[in-house]
Structure 1
Amino acid sequence: MNCKDTQNLIHGYIDGELDLVRNLEIEHHLQECSVCSQAYKNLQALRSVIKEGSLYFKPSMTLQKRVRSSLRRASKTRYIPRVVPWRWLTMAASLAFVVLMIGGLIRIWSIPSADDLLTQEVISSHVRSLMVDHLADVPSSDQHTVKPWFNGKLDFSPSVADLASQGFPLVGGRLDYLNNRPVAALVYQRRQHFINLFIWPSTHHSDVDTKTVTLQGYHLFHWTRSGMIYWVVS
């Protein structure tokens, strides 16, 4: 037992709140340490002054009996523990879990797929070409003029078909940007409507059959042939 421990326990020692071992240790330390012994004497003197002075209130026997009687009645009062509605808690936890699962599934379902994002890109490029009146960087109905124009501008050579005999005359071609890369855009016309055909290389070697999408009033067709991706929008 050192001085610090004694100072921390001295009040409990004076009030008789310590166990036998602690009491013996403090008594032994007080016999050897004059500083702690003097502190103990000062506290004892202060305790005596407070107890004997006017600040100390000594309850009457009547008040003491009333307090003891109240304590006995309180101790006899039956304590009724609150019953925890475990079944309701379990149901609430299950419901919360289901809500979280549904919320997670809704977020997953609401995330657009790569095809959905690409569809939006194609529509945006088509609308942009009509709004700024910039259908073609090389306006020409001659496929032999449009095809060589792309040389050196792209890392592939797009095929340019002449579809005038089928009622889709060639208007021209331009560079565009889709799917995080430059692509070739060929423009055809059907009566008063313009059709954009976007072409770029595929990262997969397998062919993909034609798929049809209708979105926001636009009709789209896309497929993969011989290592090239084709998207048509009108």
Structure 2
Amino acid sequence: MTCDEAEILLHALIDGELDAGHAREVEDHIAGCPACAAALADYREMSKAVAGADLRYTAPPLLRKRIEAALPQAQAQMPNRRAVLRGFAMGSAVSAIAATGLVAIVLRNDDAQRIESEVVSAHLRSLQAGHLTDVISTDKHTVKPWFNGKLDVAPPVVDLTAQGFTLIGGRLDYVDARPIGAIVYRRRAHVINLFVAQTSSTERRPAKIETIQGFNIRSWGDRGLNYWAVSDIAADELADFGDKFEAAMKSSATG
């Protein structure tokens, strides 16, 4: 393991995100590298200082009132009796369908929202110890071949380290009841999961940014692949990541 690779994983080691094998590799490297050992000690002291500081902030009640006042009036209105009865009727119909063991997808938009929710759930699972990467490497020529034979189409892997988004590895995940490739990047101490799945459409789908459960998602489609980049970094940073990834893909296609 090189110092560059160890530097990427020091935060993950402190946060307990590495499995036993990867943690042992980092610790073995640290044991023989005074520079990385010193960096780890500094990070741990910083974590202790942050944890011990009283940094919790409680928003005043006035803030809630200001937010509620800024919401569109349509959201603040109570539903009328007809809308409530319509909701009960829809719920009964869905229950009847579920009782027969059938699955109905009513709207494509609903299906897209369901998949995005599954993508966020997969992102959350990956943050648990030992779930972040199946192959750990900062080299795209190591990560991309690892997917060969595991998926119908190996996801493209782009090295964006020079642009501030460090490749740290990849893994197999499951979304919409099928295997999917996940390319993992770091932005400072934040994880970016880029999920990639094959699609029958070859048309480009413009990028859009959404927020689900506090996580930002940049989704787009291109050349028969669907992409979902998920992270807790700011929306503009995630948009920048997606723009740089797409630019690198176009460059490799024309190069």
The alignment's TM-score, normalised by the length of structure 2, stands at 0.50
What residue number does 2:174 align with? 177
In 1, the alpha carbon distance for the partners of 2:84 and 2:157 equals: 54
* Alpha carbons of structure 1 residues 98 and 214: separation in structure 2 relative to 1, 3 Å: closer
What residue number does 1:113 align with? 110
What residue number does 2:197 align with? 200
What residue number does 1:134 align with? 131
* Alpha carbons of structure 1 residues 97 and 138: separation in structure 2 relative to 1, 3 Å: closer
Q: Max radius of gyration: which structure?
A: 1
Give SS of 1:113's match. Answer: helix
What residue number does 2:71 align with? none
Deviation at 1:104, TM superposition (A): 4.0
What residue number does 1:231 align with? 228
Residue by residue over 1:133-183, the C-alpha shift from the partner in whole angstroms, topping out at 9 and shown as x without a partner, is: 321110000000000001111111211000001100101000011122111
When the two structures are aligned, how many residues end up with a matched partner? 138
* Alpha carbons of structure 1 residues 225 and 101: separation in structure 2 relative to 1, 3 Å: same
In 2, the alpha carbon distance for the partners of 1:207 and 1:191 equals: 30
What residue number does 1:149 align with? 146
Deviation at 1:100, TM superposition (A): 4.1
Residue by residue over 1:12-59, the C-alpha shift from the partner in whole angstroms, topping out at 9 and shown as x without a partner, is: xxxxxxxxxxxxxxxxxxxxxxxxxxxxxxxxxxxxxxxxxxxxxxxx
CA RMSD of aligned residues (A): 2.6
Identity over aligned pairs, percent: 46
* Alpha carbons of structure 1 residues 206 and 131: separation in structure 2 relative to 1, 3 Å: same
In 1, the alpha carbon distance for the partners of 2:184 and 2:142 equals: 13
What residue number does 2:8 align with? none
Residue by residue over 1:177-226, the C-alpha shift from the partner in whole angstroms, topping out at 9 and shown as x without a partner, is: 11221111000000000110000111222211001111211000100001
Give SS of 1:123's match. Answer: helix
Residue by residue over 1:76-124, the C-alpha shift from the partner in whole angstroms, topping out at 9 and shown as x without a partner, is: xxxxxxxxxxxxxxxxxxxx9886446446889xx88112211110111
Give SS of 2:154's match. Answer: coil
What residue number does 2:207 align with? 210
The alignment's TM-score, normalised by the length of structure 1, stands at 0.54
Does 2:184 match 1:187? yes
In 1, the alpha carbon distance for the partners of 2:86 and 2:177 equals: 34
Give SS of 2:196's match. Answer: strand
Structure 2: runs of 5 or more not aligned: 1-80, 94-105, 232-255
Say which structure, 1 or 2, has more relative contact order (CA 8 Å, 6+ apart): 2
Give SS of 2:155's match. Answer: coil
* Alpha carbons of structure 1 residues 140 and 98: separation in structure 2 relative to 1, 3 Å: closer
In 1, the alpha carbon distance for the partners of 2:132 and 2:83 equals: 52
Q: How does 1:26-175 map to 2 (within 5 A)?
A: 100-101=85-86, 103-104=88-89, 113-175=110-172
